[in-house]
Each structure stands twice: as structure tokens, then as C-alpha cells.
Amino acid sequence: MTEAAFPPPGRAILGGSFNPPHVGHLRLAIEAREALGHLVQGVDMVPCAVPPHKAQSGMLPFELRARMVEACAESIPWLRCNRAEALRQGPSYTWDTLCAYREAEPQTELYFILGSPDFALLSTWHRGLELPRLCHFVVVPRKGHTAEDFSAAASALWPTARQQQPLLPGCACMALPGGGLAHFLDVPWLAVSASRVRQLWLAGRNVDFLVPDAALQILQNNAQAVRQHWSEEGSAC
């Protein structure tokens, strides 16, 4: 009798501008990794090269943001930085990034981590409603959103979505058209704001315990360039 073949562990993906990466990003990666357990081999943090939904004023160069993410991930064996979005021209669409993952690792299940407000707005994303063809969602509540809000958002986006037996203990789950599942991961969200970090840093205030030391060292080593780019954000308002 042959043993049943189990699919290889998947990979969780956490995208963002990471301008700069902060402890909220890292705690989210850790919480998702621990909740997904044997389903994933690790988490990729994917810096966005050209954010489709954010202004470019105040954005640090991709190379600097990627270096900070890599520095943060260096001490965590299952965490890595993926620079794939810098290899493409034009806006950095999640659809294109996930297609690149699929092409490189067709047998690997993908778990895309996002906050509940972004999940509810997927219809505004480039091919957002088609993403369940490529990945599962791991939705983390923000702004007081509940499991009921999550289910309502999924049904509004995909009217044929249906409740599914949870793969993750205690987590609501919806089966989506295209084959993907959406998991509601009810974990605490550290209310750390990258814009607040930028304001504090520009004002010469202390950002210890908001930004990991490895990333903070890179900011300090590139203080002139950082100040130039982040100051543009205020002048554009």
C-alpha cells in the first residue's frame, strides 16, 4: 500500500510599501506563520516597487526599502524578502506578482495576507476578483472588523462564496469562486503607522521599538536621502 502524497507546504505572502518596515509588519508575519503552521514553509515580504494605490511622493527608493526588509528578515529563518516586483515595469499589481509565483512554483499553495479593509476593496484592484484562482487569502481584522463583517464582505465581492469548514482552528473560512479560500485570522493588530514613524523620524524623535534595529540602522546610514524623500511627502500635501 502506497502512502498518500501530501502537497508540499505552501508560502505566505505579505506585500507592502514597507516605507519603512516596522514592528507591526513583523508581528503580522509571525502571527500568520504560527497560525498557518504546517500549511506553509515560511513568509515572503514583498516590497512594492510602484504601488498602484499610493502616491509616489515620500516613497523611499525600492533598493533602500528592500534592504531594510532583508535586514529585518535576516535573523528569522522562515522569513525572506522577495524583490520580484522591481523586475517589472509599470504598476506593481498583485495579480502579476502571484502569477510570477505560480510560474516559478506551480505546485506551491499561496496564502496572501492582507487587512480586512483591503479585502473588502478587492473589486477595485487590478483583476482583484480573479485572485482566488491564484491564492488563498489570510484576512486580518482592522478597525474593529469582525468575522461577520468578513463573511459579508466576501459575499458582496463574490455572491457565490459560501461558508467552508475552517482549516485554521477557530477561524471563519469562505470558499471563493476560482478555488481559493479566505481565512479570517482574528489576531491582534499592532496599531503602528508607517506615516507616523516617518513624522517622528523627520522630527528627530525616538522611533525605538517601532522600527526594528536593523532597519533603523539603515535609515540612519542613509539619513540624507531618507530625509529628502520623506520631506517630499509633507511638501506635496
HSE-CB at 49 with a 13 A cutoff on CA atoms is 15
Residue 108 exposed, middle or buried by CB count within 10 Å (0-12, 13-18, 19+): middle
Rank 46-55, 97-106, 186-195 by mean pLDDT and report only the highest: 97-106
Mean pLDDT of 110-132: 97
For residues 90-108, average pLDDT? 96
Q: Per residue in 188-237, pLDDT tens?
A: 888 899 999 999 999 999 999 999 999 999 999 999 999 999 998 754 32
Characterize the bridge pairing of strands 136-140 and 40-47: unpaired
- This prediction has a pTM of 0.93
Question: What's the pLDDT at 208?
Answer: 96
* All domains in the chain, ordered by first residue: 10-184 (3.40.50.620)
Q: Record the cell numbers describing residue 88, joined without a space.
A: 517589472
Instruction: Assess whether pLDDT exceeds 90 at residue 15.
Output: yes
- Residue 233 confidence (pLDDT): 78
Residue-wise pLDDT tens digits, 72-93: 999 999 999 999 999 999 999 9
Q: What whole-number distance in Å separates Cα of residue 44 and Cα of residue 140?
A: 17
Q: What is the DSSP string of 183-207?
A: EE---------HHHHHHHHHTT---
Q: Supply 94's cell numbers.
A: 498583485
Predicted local confidence at residue 190, as pLDDT: 86
pLDDT of 52:
85
Tell me which residue has cell 506578482.
97
Q: How far is CA 121 from CA 104, 124, 157, 227, in A?
A: 28, 6, 9, 32
